[in-house]
Amino acid sequence: MPAKTLMVQGTASNVGKSIITAALCRILKRKGYRVAPFKAQNMSNNSFATKDGGEVSRAQAEQAAACELEPTIAMNPVLLKPTTDQGAQVVVMGKPIGTMTAKEYQAYKPKLLPIVRGALNQLMKSFDVVVIEGAGSPAEINIKHEIVNMAVARMVKAPVILVGDIDKGGIFAQFLGTFNLLKSSDQKLVCGFLVNKFRGDKKILDPGLKWLERQTKRKVLGVVPFIPDLDIAEEDSVALEKTSNIGLAQAETLLKVDVIRLPKISNFTDFDALKKERDVALNFLQKPNRNYLPDLIILPGSKSTISDLKFLWDSGFVAYIKKCVMRGVPIIGICGGYQMMGEKVLDPEHVEAEESECFGLGLLPTVTVFQKEKITCQVKAIHLESQMEIAGYEIHMGRTENHNGSQPFLKIKERNGVLSESDDGVMIENTTSGGRSFIYGTYLHGLFDNAPFRRFFLNKIRRIGELEILSDHASQEQQIENSFDVLADSVENHIDMKFLLGILEGKK
């Protein structure tokens, strides 16, 4: 019997659709349903490698975790990874098919609808419930061919919950405006509204909610409170607008970690685990900081390595980074950041950029060459310095050569479940005027999600800064599991579950 469906759409981007979808997945899982997430099209540079070597959005990987499932490419058949303001790499069923401008993609999009339908049907044959997430707003009247909101709801006659973010203000205009812009046939699919991120006394909101119900003849399913400090990845770069987890005035005795906020930053969720270290002040640095030296600099991944490398040169970041290294500040580059730290980045086939060559930071004895074939795999490895086992994933198009035999960072033991013996990354230790300088590079995303390694690595940085060494560490996996349950408890306690289950079972 095909699965039942429930769809979460929003009044805009970043209203909490991904989080509400994850919450509903966990709630239904706890009630005994076999449940899976689905999002037809996602635009995000935060991605995840599936076990079969495909690539999906990190948000769908998190939702799969809420369902206690391994993510599959069917959960996110189309992924758009912006490379410029006008173009994006298009990933279909886990594999890149090319880079398109917005105009080119709009023309190509109708060809993707059968693929979306096939992926959704695949899930519906295997599960009791599929919780579907929309994208942006369903009321984008300038978009002729959408494949992610009402087009999907119509495809499977999914009841739609419309989510709005009251923290942004204008919640009633959000709901009523979105609802009224829908076609009457699409309005019939909307079963109710869900207010998200509420702070305060709900009684003050009640008159407005009753007015909304009268205006639309639709139920307000509930008012979900703002939930701080969830260990659940956010997919939108809007989340980086809050660039620091602690004020610098409080940071004198803390471990100051600066992540360079590249214009095309990708997989910034790599650093979510660091925010939960009780002594770490994590800061996404938008321009060189002249006021203090951090304890650690991180160069993150990038969806456009050469473009972001040029940004580092043009913005003064290169001089700043080299000054920090000369004063003994450790630095680690991950994926695109690792590529930038070498001597050169070459793109002879113009896979990523118009330029064929760009000078790197010269911190590592490496040269990276871009190739058309994308590497996407889950990885198990040994961190050579500590001999700890770690797990993560690779998503990159460049191949990096270590040409002077410097010590690798990792020894790869397994890729996508297949035994593999190879080296990854580089580790260099220099003596500078400021003391010992450690320079690291690796392709492994999810590095800091490995709690024992994270504690080992950060303790090494703490020793350099003469800070307190921490011995205990919490399992990141357990923290995330707890967060799913905290989220599910909060949502379940603040929505009309009887009504929601009635909708799911076709009784409303």
Q: Of the residues 67, 324, 335, 377, which is catalytic?
A: 335
Q: Indicate the SS3 state at residue 237.
A: helix
Structure tokens at 250: 């409080």
> What pLDDT digit, counting tens, does each position of 182-199 carry?
999 999 999 999 999 999
Residue 473 annotated in active site: no
Q: 147-151, long-range: CB within 8 Å, 24+ apart, which pairs?
A: 147/40, 147/41, 147/78, 147/109, 147/110, 147/112, 147/113, 147/116, 148/39, 148/40, 148/41, 148/78, 148/116, 149/9, 150/9, 150/182, 150/183, 150/186, 150/189, 151/40, 151/113
Q: Mean pLDDT in each 10-residue stretch from start to end of the chain (508 residues)? A: 91 94 96 97 94 94 95 97 87 94 92 96 96 94 86 96 93 96 95 94 92 96 85 58 48 84 94 88 90 92 93 94 92 96 93 87 95 93 96 94 89 92 92 75 96 93 88 61 87 94 81
Q: Which amino acid is residue 233, in one-letter code? A: A
User: Rounded to whole angstroms, how far apart are CA atoms 216 and 236?
Assistant: 30
Q: Of the residues 383, 396, 445, 494, which is catalytic?
A: 445
Backbone angles phi, psi at 381, to 5 degrees: -150, 170
pLDDT for 289 equals 82
pLDDT for 140 equals 87
3-class secondary structure for 156-204? HCCCEEEEEEHHHCCHHHHHHHHHHHCCHHHHCCEEEEEEEEECCCHHH
Report DSSP letters for 331-361, one per residue. Answer: EEEETHHHHHTSSEEE-TT-SS-S-SEEE--
pLDDT for 248 equals 44
Evaluate the CA torsion angle 312, 318, 324, 328 in order and state its sign: positive
pLDDT for 249 equals 42
Q: Tokens 């239904």 label which residue? A: 28
Structure tokens at 87: 């173009």
Query: Domains of the chain (ranges plus CATH)?
Result: 4-231+481-504 (3.40.50.300), 254-466 (3.40.50.880)
Give the E-state strand segments of 50-159 in sequence order: 55-57, 78-82, 87-92, 95-101, 129-133
| Cβ-count burial 1-29 (b if 16+ within 10 Å, e if not) | eebbbbbbbbbbebbbbbbbbbbbbbbbb
pLDDT for 478 equals 57
Residue 358 annotated in active site: no
pLDDT for 246 equals 47
CA dihedral 322, 328, 330, 336 (to 10 degrees): 10
pLDDT for 434 equals 59
Beta-ladder partners of 299: 333
